[in-house]
Amino acid sequence: ACEILDTQAVLAERKTRFASNVKLSYRRPVTFLRGWRHHLFDERGRPYLDAYNNVPHVGHAHPRIRAVASEQLARMNSNTRYLHPAQIKLAQRLTAKLPPELEICFFVNSGSEANELALRLARAASGGYDIITPDHGYHGNTTGAIDISAYKFNRPGMSGRKPWVHLVDVADDYRGRFRRDDPQRALHYAQQIDAALDEIRQNGGRLAGFIAETFPSVGGQIIPPEGYLDEVYQRIRAAGGICIADEVQTGLGRLGDYYFGFEQQKVRPDIVVLGKPLGNGHPVGAVITTREIAERFAQGPEYFSTFGGSNLSCLIASEVLDIVEDEALQENARAMGARLLGGMRELGARHEIIGDVRGFGLFTGLDLVKDRESREPATEVADYVMNRLRDLRILVGREGPQDNILKIRPPLTIEAEDVDMLLDRLDLCLKEAGSALFAAT
Ligand code: PMP
């Protein structure tokens, strides 16, 4: 008989061997042993639609990724101190997609590490130390990245905001201070930079730069109003600061209409940070900047990462970028994103619980509310829907300061039939949740 993994035993052992803040998804945790495109298979081979994971950008278990990885592992794997065409190839592929002044690449092992390096670059180039960043941001799990991630440092058990970190509101025009009824909302959010700059001056500090996820994800799948980043960048640059775009979630074609999120905001960052989807599951991140910034940084000690920019990592990342082109995945993200967002808006017309539908391409969110007027977050409903969808074998997540925003962010390979199934099941879960919620009130 074929052996089936004892998931209860794995769960028990996990509790023995891991800290309780190393979390599992879902009330009924799920085991996955295989993947294929935008599907995952559990220990019994049952299929799940993966509508959540952005790391398998070109799909789980892509044969081309497997081929380049096994081929390179059979040859050798080493670091950036030796010449190898793989590093050049990845640098060429990435810079071809970016504005021409972003021409110098660094390769690292994760998004956190990429943001750490971005901070060092901004400080080296500006001579300042202070950072301005939107509230509820997330840039990684290392000490420096946590310091600039309000989503983490503001939680119980954390040391709070460092004096060199200055928060502005996240430009959420559904729940925030300035909403869609204010035609000047982009400007009003950006003007908060002026107050942050005053604070830095009063403290006797000096600005290094501004960092933001181009579309804030843990903040609630936020799409900032048009013109927001342009107004911000003008202010930052006038004060001598460096503008950093964390494109870990928004880069590489996910947005459909745009290869990078900053294109939608019509800005040109000084530093672009990439991670997650770049290696399709293999740990690789990148930082791309201008020659001027890189040269200031190069006045310091050697930059070296043992694994960052290995031949293997660079070949895998180049392959990911090539697959996005060859399989027209950006175009698919545009078409499937439009289908998904259209379907979600249609659900919004029928379900009172849906307060807002937002997104771009396959970066989407459903803001669930108890009441459309007050916009009180329907956190329990989001929790219910996410777990119920898991039981129906569809993976989605939830996000936002109140955890009430359903996050739907599938691999770029998703097809129309899958989108329709997702919408259909979502409809069912919202019906169930809605009748329970409104029967209770
Ligand atoms: N920036 C953003 C926007 C992210 O979403 C993440 C990861 N969720 C990171 C940085 C950190 O990346 P990593 O987990 O690879 O260190």
pLDDT tens digit at each of 441 positions of the chain: 678 889 999 999 999 999 999 999 999 999 999 999 999 999 999 999 999 999 999 999 999 999 999 999 999 999 999 999 999 999 999 999 999 999 999 999 999 999 999 999 999 999 999 999 999 999 999 999 999 999 999 999 998 999 999 999 999 999 999 999 999 999 999 999 999 999 999 999 999 999 999 999 999 999 999 999 999 999 999 999 999 999 999 999 999 999 999 999 999 999 999 999 999 999 999 999 999 999 999 999 999 999 999 999 999 999 999 999 999 999 999 999 999 999 999 999 999 999 999 999 999 999 999 999 999 999 999 999 999 999 999 999 999 999 999 999 999 999 999 999 999 999 999 999 987 765 655
| Ligand 1 pocket check for 309: Cβ under 6 Å | no
Query: Sheet holding 354-360: strands in order across?
Result: 354-360, 363-368, 405-408, 397-399
State which ligand 1 atom lies nearest to the alpha carbon of 112.
16
Question: Which residue do the tokens 């989108």 mark?
Answer: 419
| Ligand 1 pocket check for 275: Cβ under 6 Å | yes
Amino acid at 306: T
Domains delineated in the chain:
7-58+329-440 (3.90.1150.10), 63-326 (3.40.640.10)
Check residue 303 and report its DSSP letter. P
The pLDDT assigned to 440 comes to: 57
Strands in 83-123 per DSSP E: 104-108
Question: Which residue do the tokens 């972003």 mark?
Answer: 102
Question: Which residue do the tokens 């996820």 mark?
Answer: 213
| Ligand 1 pocket check for 363: Cβ under 6 Å | no
- CA dist 126 and 119 (Å) reads 11
Question: Which residue do the tokens 């002026």 mark?
Answer: 194
Amino acid at 212: A
- Give me ligand 1 centre to Cα 145, in Å: 9
The pLDDT assigned to 159 comes to: 86
Q: Residue 385 to residues 40, 46, 222, 368: CA-CA distances in angstroms? A: 19, 20, 20, 10
List phi, psi (to 5°) of 286. Answer: -145, 150
Nearest to 228 by CA among 164, 178, 166: 178
379: its two tokens: 């956190």
Q: Residue 22 to residues 17, 19, 396: CA-CA distances in angstroms? A: 10, 6, 19
ipTM: 0.99
Q: Residue 168 to residues 45, 182, 188: CA-CA distances in angstroms? A: 47, 18, 11
The pLDDT assigned to 436 comes to: 72
- CA dist 277 and 248 (Å) reads 7
Out of 22, 23, 139, 146, mutate this one to test ligand 1's pocket (max ligand atoms within 8 Å of CB): namely: 139
- Give me ligand 1 centre to Cα 118, in Å: 13
54: its two tokens: 């952005």
Q: Could you tell me whether strands 405-408 and 363-368 are parallel, antiparallel, or unpaired per DSSP bridges?
A: antiparallel
- Give me ligand 1 centre to Cα 223, in Å: 18
| Ligand 1 pocket check for 248: Cβ under 6 Å | yes
Amino acid at 24: L
- CA dist 421 and 387 (Å) reads 17
| Ligand 1 pocket check for 139: Cβ under 6 Å | yes
Q: Could you tell me whether strands 397-399 and 394-395 are parallel, antiparallel, or unpaired per DSSP bridges?
A: unpaired
Nearest to 286 by CA among 52, 93, 78, 135: 93
- CA dist 53 and 394 (Å) reads 11
State which ligand 1 atom lies nearest to the alpha carbon of 247.
3
Question: Which residue do the tokens 């810079």 mark?
Answer: 95
Q: Residue 432 to residues 205, 368, 369, 428: CA-CA distances in angstroms? A: 53, 14, 15, 6
| Ligand 1 pocket check for 246: Cβ under 6 Å | yes
Greatest distance between any 2 Cα atoms in the chain: 72
Q: Residue 27 to residues 350, 366, 388, 404: CA-CA distances in angstroms? A: 28, 21, 10, 16
CA 358 from centre of chain? 15
- CA dist 303 and 104 (Å) reads 13
Q: How many residues does the chain have?
A: 441
69: its two tokens: 């990885």
User: Ligand 1: which residue has its CA nearest to atom 10?
Assistant: 139
- Give me ligand 1 centre to Cα 296, in Å: 26
- CA dist 366 and 353 (Å) reads 10
